[in-house]
């Protein structure tokens, strides 16, 4: 039956069995009906889930207080749901963040700290969030970027993972490393007409260990919405919602939007929404005072795009163009989200669909002189989180408690009446959906790895209602290399770290007690867990977004200036594919690959390792 745990609360659906069992209760109800037995107090239909993921979206939205941004549709969703003002990702880079959210486990459990590792290496039997719904009778489907591209998980879905570039990806149900790629007719490209890259510019980038991008960092697109990947994804999602309504089975539809990830490409009408002079510049264009230098980065991803000024910080005029592009890209995505909300209404699904919208992490956007993510600062770890549950009396309200992306898995299970699997690292946010003023559950913890002169460290950043305390701890050890402390109430731009002031040492000691246990990193100091699994022929071998090709060569092959085939293969997981890459890298056919050839080979093929 329907149970309200308190007056005006969220509707709670009867719990199904855990994801390791069968869906018994609906079958029992059906059997009783067939036998002519009257079933009283029948529960309403299981709620559907519309799961919207947005790449690189920081809380630059109207519902988060931005007065310049145009996001009427996300604001419309906020009016029918709960806005979590202090939601934090587990690591501010795509794959680790998405993996933690979809598994309910922190990066130290998934062993995904980079863009190289699949979570099933460390957690081969993990039941993911969509897989849990699938095992409880839901039809689960994914459109565009949900997991990081190249690390798809077929066990999570009832059908191949659809992308707007003309392909769908499944994985073998027994051997997750084997991908099965099929083709479909929707195949759209990002850029319009591409200018031929300047060879001299590419040479300079290769010399710095950069893989040149194929187009500019931003573009005012002459294309129509559906001629771009996100527009095509929205169109496909509308079709899927119609088909799922006809199917009559509860569904979990995951829809990923790429913008506002670089490059900032959006149709002209979205650029025209803004006067560039009204878009504010970064609050601070340098690292905080008394912050360790390694806490930042060199903006390598942005500098890979042709035409981007080489200096840091990025000049103000160019920074304003980039921020204009970011705003235009957000409004483009907002429009596409509106198409999904309209489709739910048109199909009569809105009153029985839980909607969750999340950005996979924040984005620096020039703050601290940094672009993209890859830090432990507030601006990179904080991201939007909106959850709309049908008939919730708290619709339109906001919650200020610190929450984490690992909380999304148990929350969706809880509000949909599914058992919450044991072993998850998060907690259900249902108490906050029922009462945003409920007692705080915990702090939020984000993390990011770094290399320092004293060796590799992991930065653990702990956030409560007021403070952010970041400890840079030796990987595999107990030594704290550096500490940062920010007063987010009085210094929300994080202009100065207070960690060196004696009056804050007691506070820092209290935060230190919340650090995760030592030993969460492989004892041999390697970057990823051993045993990377069998080859994944169809998977993209992505590289960390903050690591250029030159730095990658130096890390994998320290002290080397050139490699024999055997030396190259020693650091590669897929020997056969690596042999082919080696041949391509060996431009002069002398049987060895120099550091320069390794870098240039990466520029020719962005999917190589």
The DSSP result for 416-458, as a single string, is TTPPPPTT-SS---HHHHH-TTSPP---EEEEEEEEETTEEEE
Q: Distance from CA of residue 363 to its chain's centroid? A: 11
Asked if 303 and 310 touch (Cβ cutoff 8 Å), the reply is yes
Residues contacting residue 606 through CB under 8 Å, at least 6 positions apart: 211
Positions of CATH 3.30.1120 in the chain? 444-512
Q: How far is CA 129 from CA 89, 99, 108, 297, 417, in A?
A: 16, 10, 18, 33, 14
Angle, helices 316-346/72-79, rounded to nearest 10 degrees = 50
Strand-strand pairing, 398-399 and 385-388: unpaired
Question: Which pLDDT band holds residue 562 (cuts at 50, 70, 90)?
Answer: confident
Q: Answer whether the bond into residue 260 is a cis peptide, omega within 30°.
A: yes
Q: How far is CA 315 from CA 220, 239, 372, in A?
A: 20, 44, 16
Domain 48-193+218-287+312-434 belongs in CATH node 3.90.550.10: no
Asked if 288 and 495 touch (Cβ cutoff 8 Å), the reply is yes
Region 209-234: what's the mean pLDDT?
A: 89
**pLDDT over 70 (residue 314):** yes
Rg (the chain; Cα; Å): 24
405-443 CB burial, b ≥16 within 10 A, e <16: bbbbbbbbbbbbbbbbbeebbbbbbbbbbbbbeeeebeb
Measured distance CA(354)–CA(73) in Å, rounded? 16
Query: CA nearest 234: which of 81, 344, 126?
Result: 344
**pLDDT over 90 (residue 445):** yes
Strand-strand pairing, 48-54 and 161-163: unpaired
Q: Answer whether the bond into residue 140 is a cis peptide, omega within 30°.
A: no
Measured distance CA(352)–CA(44) in Å, rounded? 9
Asked if 46 and 417 touch (Cβ cutoff 8 Å), the reply is yes
Q: Distance from CA of residue 357 to its chain's centroid? A: 12
Query: CA nearest 486: which of 291, 294, 284, 285?
Result: 291
**pLDDT over 50 (residue 430):** yes
Residues annotated as catalytic (active site), given as ranges: 94, 148
Query: CA nearest 164: which of 176, 149, 151, 153?
Result: 149
Positions of CATH 3.40.720.10 in the chain? 48-193+218-287+312-434
Torsion of CA 270, 271, 273, 277, to 10 degrees: 160
Report pTM: 0.82
Mean pLDDT of the chain: 86
Q: What is the pLDDT of residues 80-115, one digit of tens each?
A: 999 999 999 999 999 999 999 999 999 999 999 999
Three-state secondary structure string covering 149-198: CCCCCHHHCCCCEEECEEEEEEECCCCCCCEEEEEEEEECCCCCCCCCCC
Using CA of residue 508, residue 512, residue 513, residue 514, what is the dihedral sign? positive
Three-state secondary structure string covering 496-526: ECCCCCHHHHHHHHHHHCCCCCCCCCCCCCC
Predicted confidence at residue 421, as pLDDT, reads 97
Predicted confidence at residue 521, as pLDDT, reads 58
Domain 549-604 belongs in CATH node 1.10.238.10: yes
Percent of the chain at pLDDT exceeding 90? 72
Q: Distance from CA of residue 458 to its chain's centroid? A: 19
Among the CATH numbers 1.10.12, 3.90.320, 3.30.1120, 1.20.1340, which is that of 444-512?
3.30.1120
Angle, helices 549-556/595-604, rounded to nearest 10 degrees = 130
Measured distance CA(221)–CA(191) in Å, rounded? 7
Predicted confidence at residue 527, as pLDDT, reads 44
Region 278-283: what's the mean pLDDT?
A: 92
Question: Which pLDDT band holds residue 277 (cuts at 50, 70, 90)?
Answer: very high
Predicted confidence at residue 524, as pLDDT, reads 40
Measured distance CA(401)–CA(374) in Å, rounded? 24
Question: Which pLDDT band holds residue 212 (cuts at 50, 70, 90)?
Answer: low
Measured distance CA(273)–CA(97) in Å, rounded? 31
Lowest-confidence range among 194-203, 366-375, 481-490, 564-573?
194-203
Measured distance CA(312)–CA(179) in Å, rounded? 41
Positions of CATH 1.10.238.10 in the chain? 549-604
| Run of H or E residues at 317 | helix 316-346
Count of CB atoms situated within 10 Å of the CB of 138: 25
Burial of 57 (0-12, 13-18, 19+ CB in 10 A): buried
Asked if 160 and 180 touch (Cβ cutoff 8 Å), the reply is yes
Residues in the chain: 609
């Amino acid at each position: 039956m329907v149970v309200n745990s308190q007056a005006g609360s969220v509707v709670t659906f009867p719990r199904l069995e855990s994801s390791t069992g069968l869906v018994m209760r609906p079958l029992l109800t059906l059997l009783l009906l067939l036998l002519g037995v009257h079933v009283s107090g029948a529960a309403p239909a299981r709620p559907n889930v519309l799961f919207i993921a947005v790449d690189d979206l920081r809380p630059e939205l109207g519902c988060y207080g931005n007065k310049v941004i145009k996001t009427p549709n996300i604001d419309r969703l906020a009016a029918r749901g709960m806005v979590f003002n202090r939601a934090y990702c587990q690591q501010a880079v795509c794959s680790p963040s998405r993996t933690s959210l979809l598994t309910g486990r922190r990066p130290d459990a998934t062993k995904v700290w980079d863009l190289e590792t699949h979570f099933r290496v460390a957690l081969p039997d993990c039941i993911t969030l969509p897989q849990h719904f699938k095992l409880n009778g839901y039809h689960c489907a994914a459109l565009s970027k949900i997991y990081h591209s190249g690390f798809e998980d077929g066990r999570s879905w009832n059908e191949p993972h659809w992308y707007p570039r003309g392909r769908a990806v499944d994985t073998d149900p027994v051997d997750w490393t084997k991908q099965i790629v099929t083709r479909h007719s929707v195949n759209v490209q990002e850029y319009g007409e591409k200018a031929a890259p300047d060879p001299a510019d590419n040479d300079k980038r290769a010399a710095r260990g950069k893989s040149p991008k194929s187009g500019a960092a931003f573009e005012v697109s002459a294309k129509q919405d559906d001629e771009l990947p996100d527009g095509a994804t929205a169109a496909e999602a509308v079709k899927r919602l119609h088909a799922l309504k006809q199917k009559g089975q509860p569904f979990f539809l995951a829809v990923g939007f790429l913008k506002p990830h670089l490059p900032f490409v959006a149709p002209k009408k979205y650029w025209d929404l803004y006067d560039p002079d009204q878009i504010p510049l970064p609050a601070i264009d340098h690292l905080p005072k008394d912050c360790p230098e390694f806490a930042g980065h060199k903006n390598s991803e942005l500098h890979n795009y042709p035409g981007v000024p080489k200096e840091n910080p990025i000049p103000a005029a160019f920074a304003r163009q980039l921020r204009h592009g970011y705003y235009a890209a957000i409004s483009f995505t907002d429009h596409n989200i509106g198409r999904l909300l309209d489709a739910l209404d048109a199909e009569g699904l809105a009153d029985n669909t839980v909607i969750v919208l999340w950005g996979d992490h924040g984005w620096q956007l020039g703050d601290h002189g940094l672009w993209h993510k890859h830090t432990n600062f507030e601006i990179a770890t904080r991201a939007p989180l909106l959850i709309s549950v049908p008939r919730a009396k708290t619709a339109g309200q906001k919650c200020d408690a610190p929450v984490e992306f690992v909380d999304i898995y148990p929350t969706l299970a809880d509000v949909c009446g599914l058992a919450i699997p044991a072993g998850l690292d998060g907690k259900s946010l249902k108490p906050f959906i029922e009462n945003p003023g409920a007692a705080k559950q915990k702090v939020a913890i984000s993390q990011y790895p770094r290399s320092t002169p004293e060796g590799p460290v992991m930065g653990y950043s702990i956030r409560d209602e007021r403070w952010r305390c970041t400890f840079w701890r030796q990987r595999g050890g107990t030594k704290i290399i550096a500490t940062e402390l920010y007063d987010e109430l009085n210094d929300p731009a994080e202009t100065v770290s207070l960690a060196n002031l004696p009056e804050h040492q007691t506070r820092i000691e209290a935060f230190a007690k919340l650090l995760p246990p030592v030993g969460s990193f492989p004892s041999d100091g390697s970057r990823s867990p051993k045993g990377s699994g069998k080859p994944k022929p169809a998977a993209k071998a992505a590289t960390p977004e903050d690591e250029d090709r030159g730095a990658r060569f130096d890390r994998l092959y320290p002290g080397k200036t050139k490699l024999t085939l055997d030396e190259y293969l020693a650091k590669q997981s897929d020997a056969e594919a690596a042999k082919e890459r080696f041949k391509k890298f060996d431009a002069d056919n002398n049987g060895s690959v120099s550091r320069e050839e390794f870098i240039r080979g990466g520029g020719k093929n962005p999917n190589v390792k």
